Amino acid sequence: MSAKDRFLFYSDFNCPFCFALNERILVMGDSAKVAWRGIEHMPAASSQKSTLVDQTQLINEVAVVRKRAPEITLVTPPFRPSTRFANQLLFALSDCESHALSHLRTLIYRAYWQLGRDISDIAVLQELCQDAGLSYPAQIDAGAASDALDVWQGQWAGERFHSRLPAMVAEKTDKALLGFPTFDLLSSFFAGSDMPDVPESLASCEMKPKQSVLLVGDGVEARCDVTELKAAYQVDYVKSDSAAQQWLSEQSCIPDLILIDTHILAERAFKLCSQLRSNRVYRTTAVIMLLDAPDAERELAAFDAGATDVMFDLSNPKVCQARLDMHLRMKRSSSLLSTLARVDYLTELPNRREYDRKLEDEWLLGRRAATELSVVLIDIDHFKNYNDNYGHSMGDDCLRQVARAMVQCLHRPGDMLARYGGEEFVAVLPGTPLKGAVLVAQAMVDAVRNQAIPHAFSSAAEVVTISAGVSTQIPDTQSIPLQLGQRADKALYEAKDNGRNRVKSHV
């Protein structure tokens, strides 16, 4: 097979997503089509120093893979090893027969993700080489391997994938696949079939290996010893409150924890804390105030300004790590719970609660600006028959495929598709007139029908189809958002009564 017919897969032994996808590729028998590129999403990982943060992230990653690929057996390893040696070994053996090399790669994955072995141990790698029927190289050119690995690392961290796993590229067609796809989507990718790009809302894993910590204050490095934190977190320093504001405005990601030292900043530290809390962007960020000494009055002032906690002495690295670790774990748990509360588990679309919030917000904005707001209510035709005859597992996969098809029809950042409940979905289209909303709804109907998911028990068509009802209004003080949804629901029933697999509107 020529290189142009191959698929590039960016692979990391630290990531269970890679293991699960590797297993699926083996099941499909397409492993020979893959040109693997070894990368590291946690270059600082070391089996000699496993922190609570590492273990927590491992547990979370394994839980997500178990949810998405229950047929793959995984254990939670006791540590996260450096994968540099394993990647250098595979690079050194890259000229070997592809089946043996693929077998070695699988053995390395299984050694870590199923047996919990240390794949940074040379003895373990030598044993796995022998099991794969390969000879361990007498000498590995670490320099050449590292240069190639660094190039691949740069490609994976570039604009196309932003350090997310798994990431695949078809070299011949330049198609990209991001996220953890369904088996059907993965099969289509390897077959070279036309398929939609996986939307951001369905991407499986946006790896942010290190939480971000910002320390504010001239001389804060001396008063806050973060030696123990640097391996696990991204730590940045700024000297003043104005520098902090500038730094924050330049970041694409919100820091998980901000520590403000009052020693030099004095009252400006309290003002900065208050400004952060008044900005909804930073309301969930942990803000710690570092005071010179215990002082009840200043402690109360810090809490009044919105501080998450008040500390006095973080000069001991162990104490600093323990205190800040606690807040970062709480921040991570809070973020996870917040996400779970807003996302539908099955389709990974926003859920009914998030739809209600979005509709209310857009209603108020539309009333203020006197702009049209449209709602599209969607129902999968004869979905009960589909479930009863094909099984609930196939029904779940059908829901996911329908969601992917419909979300591709939304092209504006303000538009939102949510799962309304059961087999019903709803789209909120701010600033969209009725004609434009009908076009979007029709595009969804066409996209779902064109997927050609067989449905022999539907009176609407031989494939899975949807019906859609559209309603549009300029929000005013005489009506409420609920009425807009009710009119869309009435239009949906008209679409069903007229044969389904179509769009109806109601003003």
Largest CA distance in the chain: 81
The partner residues of 467 in beta bridges, in order of sequence, read: 379
Phi/psi of residue 103, nearest 5 degrees:
-65, -40
Question: What gap in Å lies between CA 401 and CA 157, rounded to an integer?
Answer: 28
Query: Which H/E stretch holds residue 405?
Result: helix 392-407
- Beta-carbon contacts of 164 under 8 Å, excluding residues fewer than 6 positions away, are 178, 179, 203, 205, 206, 207
Q: Letter for the amino acid at 405? A: A
Long-range contacts from 135-144, C-beta under 8 angstroms, 24+ separation: 136/89, 137/89, 137/92, 137/93, 140/88, 140/89, 140/92, 141/92, 142/88, 144/91
Q: How far is CA 181 from CA 69, 116, 221, 448, in A?
A: 10, 26, 44, 18
Question: What gap in Å lies between CA 168 and CA 189, rounded to an integer?
Answer: 9
Both structure tokens of 244: 């902090």
Q: Is residue 269 within 8 Å of residue 246, measured between CB atoms?
A: no
β-bridge pairing 34-38 and 175-178: unpaired
For 250-262, what is the HEC assignment?
Answer: HCCCCCCEEEEEH
Among the listed residues 348, 423, 462, 494, the single catalytic one is: 423
* Packed helices 317-342 and 52-68: angle between N→C axes, nearest 10 degrees: 20
Q: Is residue 37 within 8 Å of residue 64, measured between CB atoms?
A: no
Q: Letter for the amino acid at 429? A: L
Phi/psi of residue 118, nearest 5 degrees:
-90, 100
Q: Letter for the amino acid at 385? A: N
Query: Is 200 tagged catalytic?
Result: no
Both structure tokens of 81: 């090893």
Question: What gap in Å lies between CA 29 and CA 23, rounded to an integer?
Answer: 10
Judge residue 277's burial from the number of C-beta atoms within 10 Å of its C-beta, 0-12 exposed, 13-18 middle, 19 or more buried. Answer: middle
β-bridge pairing 309-311 and 286-290: parallel
Question: What gap in Å lies between CA 1 and CA 243, rounded to an integer?
Answer: 55
Catalytic residues: 423
